[in-house]
Copies of this chain bind each other. A is one copy, B any other.
Amino acid sequence: METRNLIGYNYQPELGNKFKAVDPSLGTDLPGEFYAASISEANAAMELADKAFATYRNISGEKKAAFLRSIAEEIIAIGPPLIERAMLESGLPDTRLQGERGRTTNQLKMFADLLDEGSWVEAIIDTAIPDRQPLPRIDIRKMMVPLGPCVVFGASNFPMAFSVAGGDTAAALAAGCPVIVKAHPAHPGTSALVAEAIKKAAEKTGMPEGVFSILYDDGYAIGEALVKHPKTKIVTFTGSFKGGMALVKMARERYEPIPVFAEMGSTNPIIFLPKALENRAEDLAKLSASITANAGQFCTQPGLLIAIKSDALDRFKNALAIAIADVNSATMLTPGICANFNKLSGGIIADDSVSIIAQSDKIDNSKINQGVAVVTEITAAAFLADEKFKEEVFGPYSMLVVADDVAQMEQVVDSLHGQLTATIMTESDELANYKSITDKLVNLAGRVILNGPPTGVEVGNAIQHGGPFPSTSDSRFTSVGISSIKRFVRPVAWQNWNEELLPDELKTGNPLNIWRLFNNEWKK
């Protein structure tokens, strides 16, 4: 494993502060030494990325697709060592990481397919109308072009799918933007292995040097230098509200405004309607899996359950208590995340208005940093009285908010801040009576779910992973699925241009056979 900072095709001398990865389940150091990058290395990586951009932005979709597919192949070629290292660094189980690797390589291939198909550039063509009155219409043709170098911050909770070659990197590279990854210090070894795969793929497919670099740092200096660099055009991040807003603040100190896509905290409320509880309280308690899977360390983990008091709700609580009691403790991603989980959940539990309704009693004492599942309960009145209950508790935790009636339930919904997801559990014949609540959920969240868990984010065309603030810094974009490529592009119009000098996407004969809005008509 090559652990040094990588700028373009060159691994850098071992200069900066040394740090090691930690096995969170034991607290022991893992093999391999990493070196915090220097500011001059950050600047050099960005200068090289900017230079690469001049070439890379004009590379054909076909060649970029080959690059992405080659990255996927190189990741697979790492074999078991990648999964093993990711397990050691993240505490996540084998099957989960096997699945995550599949998701990562599938994302790369999905963007390759998108490039091959080609319509993603949103070509719009208005041809000339020389005899239009009072003025002739001039030929104008528009399509998306890449914005420029992108800084990707690896996320702690998806060491592959939201990290070095994750969705952000895949989408940025597909769009034509060079990427500098700031590796997450919780999984530098996993990062190093994947970075090497990208380097190999870039070299094999003849990409310009600087299309990808990776820098390590166990502090904040390198991230800050990259976000503030004048040549940086986009920043992507998945993590905590605090971390995301720190990047937003750094970007606000720039002269040039740039997009910062920070996917931050979300409590992903689930509304339980009365009939659903009445008919299937026990079945709904199976949500325990969504609350606790992988120690609840998902952006879309349901941290807030909202219902009206009833006998059926008591049945749900009983069933949930039984299910949660049976959930094994699990190693959390980092000691810091575990400490924060215990601090936040502990603080809430200590509040007089809060009671515990479900708690795991299966704690693995042979390991440390164990996330132990717990569900609390609070009245809607108490919930509404203190903002602290709305804060995300990242981990295997959820809070049941019990309203006296529909009006109070609606008040709770009104009080919520922006969310990645909002879910409603209902019977078909009662939903029409709650149109006001449904409508509010659409305004509250990026994805509204009926009768299903919010976890398990589909990577496809229609997915929206991003919601109103503070769940993300920019609700207009998704960080998952094909539409996530839109974060990295801007439109350019060619006016009165020579046919032979237009990009292929805009040539009248449509040589790439893509969908276009051609004189107000969608066609190929």
Chain A interface residues toward B at CB < 8 A:
54, 57-58, 119, 124-126, 135, 137-138, 140-142, 145, 147, 248, 252, 256-257, 259-260, 428, 431-432, 438-439, 442-443, 445-452, 456, 458, 460-464, 466, 468-470, 473-476, 478, 483, 489-498, 501, 515, 517, 520, 522
Please state if B501 and A431 are interface contacts (CB–CB under 8 Å): yes
> Which residue of the partner chain, among B124, B443, B497, contacts A483 with CB atoms under 8 Å?
B124
Please state if A126 and B461 are interface contacts (CB–CB under 8 Å): yes
Q: With A248-B257, A474-B257, A492-B442 as given contacts, are A497 and B450 in contact (CB-CB < 8 Å)?
A: yes
Q: How far is the CA of A466 from the CA of B448 in the complex (A)?
A: 33
Please state if B460 and A126 are interface contacts (CB–CB under 8 Å): yes
Min C-beta distance of A333 to chain B, whole Å:
23
Min C-beta distance of A273 to chain B, whole Å:
13
Q: How far is the CA of A147 from the CA of B57 in the complex (A)?
A: 31
Q: A448 — which chain B residues lie within 8 A by C-beta?
A: 492-495, 497
Q: Which of A125, A470, A478, A493 has the most CB of B within 10 A?
A: A493
Q: With A446-B493, A447-B493, A491-B483 as given contacts, are A126 and B462 in contact (CB-CB < 8 Å)?
A: yes
Min C-beta distance of A502 to chain B, whole Å:
10
Please state if B126 and A458 are interface contacts (CB–CB under 8 Å): yes
9 contacts between A and B (CB under 8 A): A126-B458, A140-B458, A142-B462, A259-B474, A447-B492, A452-B496, A461-B517, A462-B493, A515-B522
> Which residue of the partner chain, among B57, B469, B520, contacts A443 with CB atoms under 8 Å?
B57
Please state if A119 and B463 are interface contacts (CB–CB under 8 Å): no
Please state if A498 and B450 are interface contacts (CB–CB under 8 Å): yes
> Nearest B residue to A489 by beta-carbon distance?
B476
Q: How far is the CA of A470 from the CA of B138 in the complex (A)?
A: 26
> Which residue of the partner chain, among B256, B468, B498, contacts A470 with CB atoms under 8 Å?
B256
Q: A126 — which chain B residues lie within 8 A by C-beta?
A: 458, 460-463
Min C-beta distance of A232 to chain B, whole Å:
12
Q: With A431-B498, A450-B497 as given contacts, are A492 and B458 in contact (CB-CB < 8 Å)?
A: no
Q: With A452-B138, A462-B141, A501-B431 as given contacts, are A475 and B147 in contact (CB-CB < 8 Å)?
A: yes
Q: A432 — which chain B residues lie within 8 A by C-beta?
A: 501
Q: How far is the CA of A447 from the CA of B515 in the complex (A)?
A: 21
> Which residue of the partner chain, among B138, B438, B451, contacts A458 with CB atoms under 8 Å?
B138
Q: A141 — which chain B residues lie within 8 A by C-beta?
A: 462
Q: How far is the CA of A515 from the CA of B522 in the complex (A)?
A: 8
> Nearest B residue to A493 by beta-carbon distance?
B464
Min C-beta distance of A138 to chain B, whole Å:
6
Q: Which of A142, A448, A491 has the most CB of B within 10 A?
A: A491
Min C-beta distance of A218 to chain B, whole Å:
28
Min C-beta distance of A445 to chain B, whole Å:
7
Please state if B476 and A259 are interface contacts (CB–CB under 8 Å): yes
Min C-beta distance of A461 to chain B, whole Å:
5
List 15 additional A-B contacts (Cβ < 8 Å) besides A428-B498, A442-B492.
A124-B461, A126-B463, A137-B460, A140-B463, A142-B461, A142-B462, A256-B469, A257-B469, A448-B497, A450-B495, A461-B517, A462-B517, A464-B491, A476-B490, A478-B491
Q: A475 — which chain B residues lie within 8 A by C-beta?
A: 147, 490
Please state if B257 and A495 are interface contacts (CB–CB under 8 Å): no
Please state if B464 and A142 are interface contacts (CB–CB under 8 Å): yes
> Which residue of the partner chain, among B119, B460, B476, contacts A522 with CB atoms under 8 Å?
B119
> Nearest B residue to A514 by beta-carbon distance?
B522
> Which residue of the partner chain, among B140, B257, B489, contacts A462 with CB atoms under 8 Å?
B140
Q: How far is the CA of A461 from the CA of B452 in the complex (A)?
A: 40
Q: Which of A446, A448, A490, A522 has the most CB of B within 10 A?
A: A490
Q: Which of A58, A252, A445 has the most CB of B within 10 A?
A: A252
Q: Which of A257, A442, A468 has the most CB of B within 10 A?
A: A257
Q: A483 — which chain B residues lie within 8 A by C-beta?
A: 124, 142, 491
Min C-beta distance of A180 to chain B, whole Å:
19
Q: A515 — which chain B residues lie within 8 A by C-beta?
A: 522
Q: How far is the CA of A281 from the CA of B15 in the complex (A)?
A: 59
> Nearest B residue to A491 by beta-carbon distance?
B464
Please state if A462 and B137 are interface contacts (CB–CB under 8 Å): no
Q: A492 — which chain B residues lie within 8 A by C-beta?
A: 442, 445-448, 464
Q: A142 — which chain B residues lie within 8 A by C-beta?
A: 461-464, 483
Q: How far is the CA of A428 from the CA of B500 in the complex (A)?
A: 10
Q: A137 — which chain B residues lie within 8 A by C-beta?
A: 458, 460
Q: With A452-B496, A517-B461 as given contacts, are A442 and B491 in contact (CB-CB < 8 Å)?
A: no
Min C-beta distance of A378 to chain B, whole Å:
25
Min C-beta distance of A144 to chain B, whole Å:
9
Q: A470 — which chain B residues lie within 8 A by C-beta?
A: 256
Q: How far is the CA of A257 from the CA of B247 in the complex (A)?
A: 12
> Nearest B residue to A258 by beta-carbon distance?
B469
